[in-house]
Chain A
Amino acid sequence: ETGVTQTPRHLVMGMTNKKSLKCEQHLGHNAMYWYKQSAKKPLELMFVYNFKEQTENNSVPSRFSPECPNSSHLFLHLHTLQPEDSALYLCASTEVRGLNTEAFFGQGTRLTVV
C-alpha cells in the first residue's frame, strides 16, 4: 500500500458516457499528478496540481477535466472519450520541497472506452 488510493480500479465506458476517476493520498503531500500509461509508451504527464493550483496541462484534450478540491483529493472527469483513450490512468503524489523528491503512485484505473 503506497498511501495513494485510486477508484475505481477498472472502468468500461461508452463514448457518450460521463464518468469520474478519484484519487486520494494519505501521505500529507502537497502535489498531485495524473499520468496516462499506454502499452509500450512512456508515462505521459497529463496534469499537475501543486498546493491545489493547476500548474501543468500537457495539451490534454478538453474531454479530460481535472479537479483538485484540496491537497488530498484529485479527480479526473471524463466525457465523450474516444477508444484511443483506453489506458491505465495513474495518480501520483509528492511532497514539493526545496530539493526534489520521489513520486508515489496509486494502483491505477484501467479504463476501456467502447
Chain B
Amino acid sequence: QKEVEQDPGPLSVPEGAIVSLNCTYSNSAFQYFMWYRQYSRKGPELLMYTYSSGNKEDGRFTAQVDKSSKYISLFIRDSQPSDSATYLCAMSRSNDYKLSFGAGTTVTVRA
C-alpha cells in the first residue's frame, strides 16, 4: 500500500466550476499537510499548508484535513484557466523534514 494515494486524473472542468481534489494516507503520524501546484516544465510551488485537522481558506482555495479518516482535500472555487496545473499533496510527521508526496492530479480548466 502506498503511503499517500492520489488519483492522477486527469480532471477537466469548465471555467467557474469548483475543483475538488483529495488524497488519502496510511500513516497516522502525519501532522503537516501541504498542497503544491506544479505548472508544466516548472517546479512545485507551495499553495496551502495546514497543521493537524481542520479547514484553511486562502482566497479561492480551501484545504481540509480529516485525520480521523486520513483524508485531505483541496477545493478551488471559481476556477480559472490559469489554475490548469498538476496538484500534489504532501505530508510529514512532527519534527521530520521529509515529505511524502502523492502522485499528483492533473487539472485542466476549460475557458
Contacts and interface: CB of A to CB of B under 8 A. Distances in A.
A113 B81 CA distance: 34
B95 A100 contact: yes
Contacts of B36: 105
Contacts of B44: 43, 90, 105
B97 A31 contact: yes
Interface residues of A, number: 27
Q: Choose among A40, A50, A102, A104 the residue with the greatest number of B CB atoms under 10 Å from its CB.
A: A102
A2 B102 contact: no
B4 A100 contact: no
A105 B101 CA distance: 13
A90 B98 CA distance: 14
B60 interface: no
A111 to B, nearest CB: 13
A48 interface: yes
